[in-house]
Amino acid sequence: MSQDDASRPDPGNYGFDLEETLRGIVGLRATVPADAHSAERLGTERAGNGCVISPDGLVATVGYLVTEAEQVWLVTGDGQVSDAHVVGRDHETGFALVQALQPLGVPPFRIGRSSAVKAGDRVVVGGVGGLDAAVDARVVARQEFAGYWEYLLDEAIYTTPPHPHWAGTGLIDGNGGLVGIGSLFMQQVTQNRTALDVNMMIPIDLLPPIIDDLVRYGQTQAPPRPWIGMQAAEFGENLVVIGLTDNGPAAKAGVSVGDVVLGVGGERVQSLGGLFRKMWAVGEAGVTIDLAIFRNGEERTINIRSVDRLSNYKAPKLH
């Protein structure tokens, strides 16, 4: 991928060796079994980027690229290919770690502080391929992100212009530090109600507290959050069920697409983020979620026995 001149970063604008820093971004490809839980939604062949964060080839990327992957390959900007395996994934943050099995020969990133990044900052969003695969961007917002797949970030980082191959990209601050990992392309409504194309970035500050657990155990040791397999979205002032995981807890309990979600455990919710926080506050996976919904002109409560999300997924294969 080659960027046009308008979005391609100028190394002279930065007080560090931008070209050398960008070498730490690698391409990532993964294959997933056709019968994997995530195959229908995410596909069986996935491609994106990753950021090398240690001299021995540990790579940070976005989790959906490698969920249930049976084979993983890493490719450097100069074409060096290495087999790899998934070290761990954290569904709460969205991070995954991948280990190269052959030397990559690229410099690892220095981990920066995403807490220091603020709206208006100039940043670089890099993919594999050096300057030609990088975007000179700015931070437009730091705010909550709630994903319908039962995912929540208290303060995601949003950048524009968007990178065309955003998955696993590296967000680099003005000091050359890695401050985020690319997750999504989306449109954000501005104050004058125009749509702005942006990338949503996972803040890197969420990685250090969990990295030791991911390396040692493949997941964090925190109690798993309750998961019900219900996809919801905000429509005006209503929170509406737009999808259900086949044979998931919500579907089995009788939740239907089109139901309007009113609350959890007798407490009202008004946003997707509020719904998740109420659910997760009930307890760990296995607790019963008392979901209040509105259907056919009447309010009712559906009792949903939650599960651990990981129980649906195939374990990663180690080489």
Mean pLDDT value of segment 172-189 = 94
Please state, rounded to an integer, the average pLDDT across all residues of the chain. 95
| pLDDT per residue as tens digits for the range 95-130 | 999 999 999 999 999 999 999 999 999 999 999 999
Confidence at residue 316, expressed as pLDDT on a 0 to 100 scale: 64
CA 154 – CA 288 distance, rounded (Å): 24
Is the per-residue pLDDT at 271 higher than 50?
yes
CA 225 – CA 311 distance, rounded (Å): 12
What percent of the chain stands above pLDDT 90?
Answer: 90
CA 244, 245, 246, 250 torsion: positive or negative? negative
| pLDDT per residue as tens digits for the range 63-72 | 999 999 999 9
Confidence at residue 313, expressed as pLDDT on a 0 to 100 scale: 86
Confidence at residue 315, expressed as pLDDT on a 0 to 100 scale: 74
CB 163 within 8 A of CB 136: no
34: burial class by Cβ within 10 Å (0-12, 13-18, 19+)?
A: exposed
Strand extents, DSSP E, 67-223: 71-75, 81-89, 95-100, 110-111, 122-126, 134-147, 151-160, 170-172, 177-189, 195-203
| pLDDT per residue as tens digits for the range 125-149 | 999 999 999 999 999 999 999 999 9
- Domains of the chain, earliest start first: 19-107 (2.40.10.10), 109-212 (2.40.10.10), 226-312 (2.30.42.10)
Is pTM beyond 0.85? Reply is yes
